[in-house]
Structure 1
């Protein structure tokens, strides 16, 4: 009897071990390819919103006050005025797709960004985390997190220096 029980237990364990559930984590998926295309578009200044759902919401360094995909593209166009060059580096990029317990599909990526300020040619490197939720192959939510402090401080310094130079040029009354 013990042998039959042990045989049944081993058979049940072997059978359950062979059962493949849905893929919950991968580093190769159509959604990851979409995010890689989005990153490539950003680097080439191709501002395409076709991979976003019409109702998508984008959050940069916040979880409040979302913007639309077209507003996100406008944001990138406006900030481009500050840079002689900018883009994500091609090395050390990490991408993963996960399906949550609630069945949501997310792509996470960790990237290094490099920009050169147009006003003084200072190079700035920033690690960035981006995460995208997908529904039916389209991005419905995007979150981007990075520390902009170095850029903000450098732009403030450039502005202060320009103001000082302007004041020095004004004639004394």
Structure 2
């Protein structure tokens, strides 16, 4: 009987001492990589070294992706619309999860702010980004936000420019 109790105690100690794989954390090298990517975006540095060359980015879509090169062009094209833009430092949340299938993902919830160059209007927007990692590199990115306020502002600018163009055309005649 004593041997049985000792065996059970030994099994309990061995089982309790075994390290289990971390499935959720708020501190990891992958989170640091995402923070680096966010920092580079804010600095308008699009080297994206933490992304694999084959990375696919899905921004507000589930079907149409941007390659790494297309993503750089996308960001550079959008930068022309703003005198200032970037993710804010406050109230940002990051988490890393390992799925049941063993995939490593980093999720982040961020606040983005941009000042429209033409009008000076400041737009605040919550953004959710999630990144899949393989061998320390980002291989997939999904980004979700509501672009309505930006779209409406850009449409108003376009209407303003069209009206000015029409005025110029009338005054020439």
Q: Same fold (TM over 0.5)?
A: yes
Are 1:170 and 2:169 an aligned pair? yes
Q: 1:7: Cα distance to partner?
A: 9.3
Aligned equivalents of 1:8 and 1:72: distance in 2? 59
Aligned equivalents of 1:159 and 1:13: distance in 2? 70
Aligned equivalents of 1:25 and 1:45: distance in 2? 30
Aligned equivalents of 1:10 and 1:48: distance in 2? 55
Q: 1:19: Cα distance to partner?
A: 3.8
Aligned to 1:31: 30
8 A contact 1:58–1:141 mirrored in 2: yes
Aligned equivalents of 1:43 and 1:84: distance in 2? 12
Aligned to 2:153: 154
Aligned equivalents of 1:140 and 1:151: distance in 2? 28
Q: 1:169: Cα distance to partner?
A: 2.1
- Aligned Cα root-mean-square deviation (Å): 2.1
Gaps of at least 5 residues in structure 2 are: none
8 A contact 1:60–1:143 mirrored in 2: yes
What SS is found at the alignment partner of 2:138?
strand
Q: Report runs of 4+ in structure 1 exceeding 4 Å deviation.
A: 4-18
8 A contact 1:49–1:70 mirrored in 2: no
Aligned to 2:68: 69
- TM-score of the two chains, using structure 2 as the length reference: 0.90
What SS is found at the alignment partner of 2:38?
helix
- Between stretches 133-142 and 156-165, larger displacement belongs to 156-165
- TM-score of the two chains, using structure 1 as the length reference: 0.90
Q: 1:67: Cα distance to partner?
A: 1.1
Aligned to 1:21: 20
Deviation string for 1:42-93 (max 9, x for gaps)? 0000111221112111100001121111211110000000001000000011
Q: 1:20: Cα distance to partner?
A: 3.1
Aligned to 1:131: 130
8 A contact 1:55–1:140 mirrored in 2: yes
